[in-house]
Each structure stands twice: as C-alpha cells, then as structure tokens.
Chains A and B, each alone.
Chain A
Amino acid sequence: MTDGFQMVGIRPVPPPERGRPAPWYRGKPVAAAVVLAVIVLGCLCSELLMTKDPTYLDLANCNVAPNREFLFGTDAMGRDLFSMIWYGGRVSLLIGILATAISTVLAIVFGAASGMASVWLDTLLMRGTEILLSIPGLLLVLLLQALLGPANVWTLSWVIGLTSWTAMAKVVRTEVRQLRTSDYVVAARCMGGGFFYLLRKHLTPNFLSSILFMVVMNIRSAMVAESTLSFLGMGLPLEVISWGSMLSLAEKALMTRAWWIIVIPGAFLIATLLSITSLGNCLRKQANRKARNL
C-alpha cells in the first residue's frame, strides 16, 4: 500500500532572499533630532555650561574676538557670548513655544467656531480675519505692545501669538466645515453636546493631524518673529538676553566688524530653525501617508 501518493510535507522553500533590513534611522530626521536635543538640553542646563556670568558687563573686554577665555568672543558691552548663547536660548525657545501655544488655541477655537457657525456669521468672521491680515503686522505689533506694556517674554509671546493664528484658523475652519455634517457630530449635537464638548471629543482629534505641521512651523516663525522684532528694537530689551536681543547689537557690530556677534547667535538660531523644519517635514509626510491609506 505504499504506491500512489506519498506525504512529503511542505516543499522546502529557501527563505526569501532579504536584503539587509532597512536601518531604523531610514527616513527619520535623526541629525535634526540630535541637533535640536543638544541645543535644547544645553539651554535647559545652561548653568552647567556657562563659563562666565552672561549678564556681567566686563568693560575691560569689549568686542573681543573668540579666544581661549571667551570661546565665542564678547559683545560691545563686554558680555561673554558663549554663556549668553545658552542662557538666552532658553528665552528664545520659550517664546517660540508660548507664542505657538497661544496662536494654536486661538486658531482652534476661532476656526472651529467659524466652521460650526451659520453661513453669514462664518462669512463675517472670515472677512474679519482677512481684514486683520491686511493690517501691516508691524502696526499690530506696536499697538499690542502699547496695550500690553513694555516688552518682556510674556507680552512678546502674546504679541507674536495674537498676530500669527489666522492661517491656521482657516485650515481648521475648512476641516470643521467638512466634519460638521458627519453623522457622529450631528448625533452628538442632537444629544445636546455643547460646542466645547464637540470640539474636544469629536473635532480636534480629527483635524489635529492636518494642523500638526502648521503648529511645528509656527514655533519656527515665532522664533523668527522674536529675533526680527528684537533686532528692530521693538522686541526684548538688551538686558533680557535672547538670541534676538543679542542680534540687536548687530548694527553696531557691523561698524566694528565684530563678525562673531552677528554670525554666532545667527548660526544657533538657524540650526534650531532648520532642525524644527526637518522634524515638521517628517511629521507632514507621516500625516499624508496616513491620509492616503484610509
């Protein structure tokens, strides 16, 4: 009875020839993350890194080029740039994050309100933002500073936050316009869910991924705004050390050709901005990939 079929089991198949597994860092902005981490950590632990007191005016050593004692040189008032970079980075990063938080909350609330509102109110609100957009930013900043008092970290964050939420609000509004007719939102409204309940439970989780990229980019533009305003003399005063207020000495530095006062804080600023951008781009790619799979 051994003729006929014979059970031989599964045909041995050589395991599929796999190339080397894709390294874990493929497609991830590792360099950006590392640079950002170094800068953020350095700023947070600035006390450990600083070689001098960043606020001390060493008048015997003004405009000293980078050397062994003053690693990045000193500015026109004799302050040590190396210490100021780490100490002031805290303020710059803080303003970036605070301003973004303010503008994001505003954009979400305003955009969602406009998206849920009736047509005429929606038109009115959107026209309003358009008019707000067309007022020169400089004037708005001046006015807000006048209302909020002399510039410090807190008021400057508010100024930047209040002038940078409109683009995000438009995206939120468009998303909410699409979401509002979906059944679960209508159902929640029928059962008496309030605006903020809807916003928290149903709307925000749905449009968050589409504005995440904008949020990250907002940190970047808030930091640019801080440095530009401080440079123009409308932001932080000289005593409050930030990368922007360090650059406000740049015009004097041009006269004395003290390149380090201009180049070094700028390089730190740009390295931070670049890392934030790479992280943001990575986020956007991920968000897009999800959307396509759905």
Chain B
Amino acid sequence: MKRSILRSIGIKVLVFVVSLLILSAAVFCVARLAPGDPLVSYYGDRVEKMSPQERAWAEDKLGLNDPLTVQYVRWLERAVQGDFGISYQYKMPVTEVIAQRMGNTLLLGGVGLLLIFGGALLLGSFCAWQEDRWPDRLLCRAGTLLSCIPEFWLSLLLILVFAMGIRWLPSSGAYSIGGEGNVGDRLVHLILPLTVVVLSHLWYYAYLVRNRLLEEVRADYVLLARVKGLPRRAVLFRHCLRSAMPTYLSILAISIPHVLGGTYIVETVFSYPGLGTLSYESARYQDYNLLMVLCLLSGAVVMLCNLAAQAINERIDPRIRGERSGMEQEVRTP
C-alpha cells in the first residue's frame, strides 16, 4: 500500500519535471523564432548606431550567435544550478527582478482570490437561500451583466469615475513616490485593481456555488434533516454547503491560474508593478531570460494547481484513482 503511494507520487513528480522541460524548450524556441531584436532591450536606442562589428561582438557576448540547441543546452545547464541569467532590460539577475515584483502580484492575486473565494460562497448561498425570489433574480441579472464586462474596460471605468471624476483614489502604481513603506498608501493603491480582479471573477464562482447548492437541496437527506426538525439555515450551511465544498474547492484550484492571468491585464491598465506588467514588457522587448523564467513560473503554477485539484478530487471520490486502469480495459475490448 505504502509503496504504491510512493510510486504514484514519484510518477507525478516525473511528469511534472518532464512537462516543465518540454515547456521550457517550447518557450525557448518560440521566443527566439519571434522577430524582434533582443539587443534593443539590452542596449536601448544605441543599437541603431552600432557598426556591424560592434553588433557581432554584442551578439557574441550575449551568446545569441550559437545554434538554437547549443543555446538551449547552455541555458539548461545553468538553470539547473539556479542561474537563470540576467535580464537584458534591467541588467540584473532574472531572479532578483522577479523577486522584486513577485510580492506585488502575490498581494493583488492572493487577496483577490481570498475575497473571491469568500464572496462567492456568501453570494452563492444567499442566492440559493432566496431561490427564484426577487433578490436571487436581481443578483443573477446583475452577475451576468458583470461577467460580461471586459476587465480592461471595467478598470478604465473605475479610473474614470474614482480617480478622474471624484479624485478619491490613485489611478496607477503600487505606492506614491516616497511612500514605499507606508501601509495605508499601499492599501489605497490596491483598492481599484483589487475591485476589478474581484468583480470580474466573483459571479462565475458564486453562480457555481448557487447551482451546486440548488442541486444539493433537492437530495433526500435534506428532507430527512428537515423532518428531524433542523431549521432551514442549519441544513443549508451545515449539510448542503459542506457537501458542495469539495467540488467548489477543486474548481477553484484549477482556475487559480485563470484569476492570476486576469491580474496581468489589470496590472497593465493600472501600471501596477507586478509580474503581469513584467511579462508584457519582456515579451514585447525580447527579454529572453526573463521571459523564460516567467513562463516556467506560470506553467509550474498551472500544473501545481491541476495536481492540487486532482488530489482534492481523489480524496473525495476514490473511484477516480482507479479510472486509469478502468479506461485501459475499456479501450482494449473493441
């Protein structure tokens, strides 16, 4: 029993590593095949004044002249030792550039996810509680409308109203100049981006919770609990919500990358110094080393979240674990 668990964990780790390798190779080729001059991001406008000799020397220095495979193997060798190269644009080790920005994105995405998670549960159970009465209908209408609004447009609208119109909130950045250590300043700058992140995803999950709960309240055990004399609220929150929870958690785990991807657009609109603006810049200006690490990072997050969702599902429903062997049998029959 124990050995089989170890084995399945081993297989998962192996698949994870191999997937990351394939991803890195793919991104490596893709980034270098895309046109654009990486020298521009390193030297800026000076590139245009360079003589061919200088260009050749610069390319040689950055190792851009070798064949693609050589470049990739060299990158891999260094990456295994923890050296991901320097960012052409910032002239600093990539890891440092990312470390500087990571906190901002984690703050935005993490707080956003928590609010989405809690808000969707509350909103969803409220709607299920009020099924087909006017609060539920109103919320469903409003939610559908909200989910149709593109993130960037919602950001623009909020800037227009709250930053330009009534001037209550700042429209860009993560802090005012000189206010880096000031917690209140950070929070004020976080309000608008956070609102967009939460509002643009909230309804999707709230609707999910609502529909799952509506299925649940039609089950027999609810009738039993009611007959036993439990009040409606107790049944909904203690029984129905609990059994709806695992599905909700696993779907949430799968969609964490989706929410984080949404923060990328929001960050760009609000010029919020996070990983989103960083990957946008690095892709635009061919900052290869930075781009590689950012892609691998987001790829790893996606795969880890998938694994987490799978683990949650296996815990709820042990039949899933046996699915693979069952599928193979099913395929061999015809």
How far apart are B71's CB and chain A's nearest CB, in angstroms? 17
- Asked if B334 contacts A181 (CB within 8 A), the reply is yes
- Asked if A232 contacts B328 (CB within 8 A), the reply is no
A-chain residues with CB within 8 Å of residue B294 when the two chains form the complex:
136
Complex CA gap A209/B171 in Å reads 45
Tell me which of B156, B264, B265, B268 has the highest count of chain A C-beta atoms within 10 A of its own C-beta: B156
Known: A131-B22, A146-B35, A232-B268. A137 touches B261 (CB 8 A): yes
- Asked if B144 contacts A274 (CB within 8 A), the reply is yes
Known: A139-B295, A263-B157. A273 touches B148 (CB 8 A): yes
Asked if B222 is an interface residue, CB under 8 A from chain A, the answer is no
In the complex, the chain A residue whose C-beta lies closest to that of B265 is A228
Q: Mark A136-163, 1 if CB is under 8 A from B, else 0.
A: 1111101100110000000000000000
- Asked if B157 contacts A266 (CB within 8 A), the reply is yes
Complex CA gap A124/B322 in Å reads 19
Complex CA gap A149/B294 in Å reads 25
- Asked if A136 contacts B298 (CB within 8 A), the reply is yes
How far apart are B163's CB and chain A's nearest CB, in angstroms? 8
- Asked if A131 contacts B23 (CB within 8 A), the reply is yes
In the complex, the chain B residue whose C-beta lies closest to that of A146 is B34
Q: Mark B27-66, 1 if CB is under 8 A from A, else 0.
A: 1001101111000000000000000000000000000000
Asked if B333 is an interface residue, CB under 8 A from chain A, the answer is yes
Asked if A283 is an interface residue, CB under 8 A from chain B, the answer is no
Asked if A102 is an interface residue, CB under 8 A from chain B, the answer is no
B-chain residues with CB within 8 Å of residue A232 when the two chains form the complex:
152, 265, 268, 280
- Asked if A134 contacts B298 (CB within 8 A), the reply is yes
- Asked if B299 contacts A131 (CB within 8 A), the reply is yes
Q: Is the interface of A mostly helix, strand, loop or mixed?
A: helix
Residues 237-283 of B at the A interface (beta carbon under 8 Å): 257, 261, 264-265, 268, 279-280, 283
Asked if A220 is an interface residue, CB under 8 A from chain B, the answer is yes
Residue from B22, B27, B283, B303 within 8 A of A138 (CB atoms): B283
Asked if A165 is an interface residue, CB under 8 A from chain B, the answer is no
- Asked if B148 contacts A274 (CB within 8 A), the reply is yes
- Asked if B334 contacts A131 (CB within 8 A), the reply is no
Residues 170-201 of A at the B interface (beta carbon under 8 Å): 180-181, 186
Asked if B153 is an interface residue, CB under 8 A from chain A, the answer is yes
- Asked if A135 contacts B299 (CB within 8 A), the reply is yes
Residues 262-278 of A at the B interface (beta carbon under 8 Å): 262-263, 266, 269-270, 273-274, 277-278
Complex CA gap A270/B148 in Å reads 6
Residues 283-328 of B at the A interface (beta carbon under 8 Å): 283-284, 291, 294-295, 298-299, 302-303, 306, 327-328
- Measured as residues with beta carbon below 8 angstroms from the partner, the interface class of chain A is 35 or more
Complex CA gap A224/B151 in Å reads 9
Asked if A254 is an interface residue, CB under 8 A from chain B, the answer is yes
- Asked if B152 contacts A231 (CB within 8 A), the reply is yes
Asked if A28 is an interface residue, CB under 8 A from chain B, the answer is no
- Asked if B157 contacts A134 (CB within 8 A), the reply is no
Residue from B26, B147, B149, B156 within 8 A of A135 (CB atoms): B26
- Asked if B27 contacts A139 (CB within 8 A), the reply is yes
Complex CA gap A285/B246 in Å reads 25
Asked if A101 is an interface residue, CB under 8 A from chain B, the answer is no
A-chain residues with CB within 8 Å of residue B330 when the two chains form the complex:
181
B-chain residues with CB within 8 Å of residue A2 when the two chains form the complex:
none
B-chain residues with CB within 8 Å of residue A139 when the two chains form the complex:
27, 30-31, 279, 283, 291, 295
Asked if A64 is an interface residue, CB under 8 A from chain B, the answer is no
B-chain residues with CB within 8 Å of residue A224 when the two chains form the complex:
150
Listed in ascending order, the chain B residues whose CB lies under 8 Å from chain A are 15, 19, 22-23, 26-27, 30-31, 33-36, 144-145, 147-153, 156-157, 159-160, 164, 171, 257, 261, 264-265, 268, 279-280, 283-284, 291, 294-295, 298-299, 302-303, 306, 327-328, 330-331, 333-334
Q: List 25 A-B contacts (CB under 8 A).
A: A119-B331, A127-B19, A130-B302, A131-B23, A131-B26, A134-B298, A134-B302, A137-B261, A138-B264, A138-B283, A139-B27, A139-B283, A143-B30, A143-B34, A224-B150, A228-B150, A228-B151, A262-B153, A262-B160, A266-B150, A266-B156, A269-B150, A273-B149, A274-B144, A274-B145
3 A-B pairs with the lowest CB-CB distances in the bound complex, closest first: A134-B299, A134-B302, A146-B34
